[in-house]
Amino acid sequence: MTSIISLPSRTIRIGSRKSELALVQTYWVQQQLQKQFPNISFEVEKLSTQGDKILDVALSKIGDKALFTKELELAMLNREIDFAVHSLKDLPTRLPKGLVLATVTERENPADAVVYHEKYKNRQLQTLPPGAVIGTSSLRRLAQLRNLFPHLTFKDIRGNLNTRLAKLDNGEYDVLILAVAGLKRLRMDRRIHQVLPPEISLHAVGQGALAIECRTEDREILSLLQTIEHLPTRTCVMAERAFLRELEGGCQVPIGVNTKLNKDTLILSGFVASVDGKRMLKDTVIGDSNQPEMVGLELANNLRFRGAQEILAEIYQTHRL
């Protein structure tokens, strides 16, 4: 393969959503690549996705699992951009023909964070009064928190991070559940009051990692992107994505995971739940880190045997996913 470093000076186009977080993530990738390849010009192309345009409907009711990726993928296939940067949790487990998950970057903390209104700044979820309003757009978070804290009130919330925090600060919500990674990347981690342990909230598949997607046959771009790959993170998320893919889930269903990598051992925990949190199935599989997808498949099959498919079928029917 021809080394990308020896290629003549050229311009490579990076696709990104227009949101502040998406651009922070994309500019970080741009900077990492620019350090590696100073003779190449990397330009960011900003695109709007369906998920960015529909802000008045809950994600679970829109039904499209490529809400935040489809327009970027079409731009790649049409050769308008060379690759795209995604939050890995937004990337469907089945990619369009001709595209590949080229690189996974080192994962930020994948946990969920709790951000409180000023009046509850000295509280934790466990000590909130009955009826306190929790804002989240994630069925995964909703199911787990309803299971543990049925006395709290849950209300959907959409919009970018600043919009959500403004709604919290003006009293529309008492608490928000957000990703630690997003808050840290936007340098808003000072707003984090509580980081939820796996015992309370298993995180989304791929949460905290960035995915870089490109055309399958573009060997030059693939070679370039390999330089910022983080293999331990890829190992973990490949197990998580296999688990999700086998259960035919997406970001709009209550499925969560937690992954630990210890040398050659991969420990994958996961759950499937009803939206009301009253039915919840959890399990953990310990397997070979050299075969992460097999670990994910084993966990999915374990939960399917215990009734996960029936729970998910009901959710799909109710929400028409």
> Hey, which residues are catalytic here?
90
Contact 163, 55 (CB under 8 A): no
Give the separation between CA 74 and CA 76, rounded to whole angstroms. 5
Six-digit token pair at 91?
């990337």
Give the separation between CA 193 and CA 112, rounded to whole angstroms. 11
Environment class of 84 (CB within 10 Å of its CB; exposed 0-12, middle 13-18, buried 19+): buried
User: Quick one: CA torsion of 41, 46, 51, 53, rounded to 10 degrees?
Assistant: 180
Residue entry with tokens 């399990």: 283
Name the percent of the chain in helix, strand, coil, to the closest 5: 40, 25, 35
Q: Which residues, other chains included, contact 209 with Cβ-Cβ below 8 Å and sequence gap of 6+? A: 87, 88, 89, 104, 105, 106, 107, 108, 110, 233, 237
Give the separation between CA 7 and CA 97, rounded to whole angstroms. 27
Q: Which residues, other chains included, contact 53 with Cβ-Cβ below 8 Å and sequence gap of 6+? A: none
